[in-house]
């Protein structure tokens, strides 16, 4: 079925291995993040084969699927759970990132009911202004968390560049480490985990500016895509040909704009302009805005330009394509992180995992 999103699992495994080696040289463990691929177990397994210490995702249903798939590594919930999700969080995730004491009290009760202890990381506000406990409030909150018998305070976590674009620096990550040290003083014991960021933090590591004490990163984009969107760069030693999107050609026709036709807004309320004063060969594909972020894909064949799209149709200019375009063929596209995210969650895009014998060892 098309459109089709193809995950090249051996390339993802290779990226994971390279990222893990970079981090291990600095004493840092990697949790592979699968949220960009909707938590698909084959992608998680590729990361595990590449050496990640655990798998993290922001959506509980994704972690449920991963747990059912039998992954034998710790699972982390990235987004703080709501109180209503406490029981499922404890049942599914080994670790969760939290900011609310009230929610953690409910998590503790759920854990005690289930006869286990649930591990938590306290998210520290480091300037990006998404979720995070203010550093000056962190020690007092940590003391209260220590009293919760169903929880184990594992450590602290930092988040950068996800909402406001605040990048990690030697200064703000050092302040994060200092906040964790103040927690240690308050609770009278060392913390096991300082989870210092995500893909964007790799740049700091590469420059040798990662503060001592940070011993974990949560990496998704660098493994799945080989890119660092926030840093606007390719991650050294990684591949970018890990995922491709394929769509079928439904129509090929040479067309020209009617310069006398009145123009209004399109179906998405946008004002566009018809620039083809000369006849141009157009191809219509089985791919639309419902399926993928079309501003974040690029055709792999030379001479193809994206003209525009509606909900269910993508229009290409194939006039300059080196080979003829015919109805029924498939055209392939490279994808950015954002495009993979949208295509992964679309129910109309078939997901394919290659090579076909990748799982001969089983999960």
275 has pLDDT over 60: no
What does the pLDDT read at residue 257? 76
- How high is the mean pLDDT of the chain? 94
Q: What gap in Å lies between CA 230 and CA 160, rounded to an integer? A: 9
266 has pLDDT over 70: no
Instruction: Give the chain's domains with CATH numbers.
Output: 9-234 (3.20.20.10), 243-354 (no CATH)
Tell me what the mean pLDDT of segment 221-225 comes to.
98
What does the pLDDT read at residue 175? 98
Tell me what the mean pLDDT of segment 143-167 comes to.
97
Asked if 64 contacts 44 with a C-beta cutoff of 8 angstroms, the reply is no
Pull the structure tokens for residue 216: 């974990």
Which residues lie below 8 Å from residue 286, measured CB to CB, with a gap of 6+? 2, 3, 247, 248, 250, 312, 313, 314
């Amino acid at each position: 079925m098309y459109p089709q999103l193809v995950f090249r699992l051996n390339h993802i495994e290779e990226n994971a291995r390279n990222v893990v080696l970079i981090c291990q040289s600095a004493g840092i463990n990697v949790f592979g993040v699968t949220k960009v691929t909707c938590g698909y177990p084959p992608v998680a397994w590729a990361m595990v084969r590449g050496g990640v210490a655990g798998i993290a995702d922001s959506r509980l249903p994704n972690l449920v699927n991963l747990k059912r798939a039998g992954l034998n590594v710790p699972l982390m919930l990235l987004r703080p759970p709501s109180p209503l999700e406490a029981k499922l969080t404890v049942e599914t995730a080994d670790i969760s990132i939290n900011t609310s004491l009230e929610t953690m009290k409910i998590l503790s009760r759920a854990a005690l009911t289930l006869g286990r202890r649930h591990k938590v990381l306290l998210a520290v506000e480091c300037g990006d202004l998404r979720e995070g406990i203010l550093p000056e409030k962190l020690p007092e909150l940590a003391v209260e968390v220590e009293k919760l018998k169903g929880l184990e305070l594992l450590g602290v976590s930092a988040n950068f560049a996800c909402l406001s674009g605040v990048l990690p620096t030697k200064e703000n990550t050092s302040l994060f480490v200092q906040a964790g040290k103040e927690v240690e003083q308050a609770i009278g014991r060392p913390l096991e985990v300082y989870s210092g960021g995500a893909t964007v933090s790799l740049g700091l590591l590469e420059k040798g500016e990662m503060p001592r004490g940070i011993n974990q990163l949560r990496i998704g984009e660098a493994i799945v895509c080989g890119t660092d969107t926030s840093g606007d760069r390719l991650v050294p030693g990684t591949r970018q040909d890990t995922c491709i999107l394929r769509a079928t050609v439904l129509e090929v026709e040479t067309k020209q704009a009617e310069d006398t036709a009145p123009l209004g807004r399109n179906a998405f309320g946008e004002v566009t302009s018809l620039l083809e004063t000369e006849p141009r060969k157009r191809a219509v594909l089985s791919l639309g805005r419902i399926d993928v972020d079309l501003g974040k894909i690029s055709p792999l064949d030379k001479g193809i330009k994206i003209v525009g799209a509606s909900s269910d149709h993508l229009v290409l200019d194939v006039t300059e394509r080196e080979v003829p375009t015919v109805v029924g063929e498939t055209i392939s596209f490279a994808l950015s992180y954002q495009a993979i995210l949208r295509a992964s969650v679309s129910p109309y895009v078939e997901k394919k995992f290659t090579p076909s014998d990748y799982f001969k060892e089983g999960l």
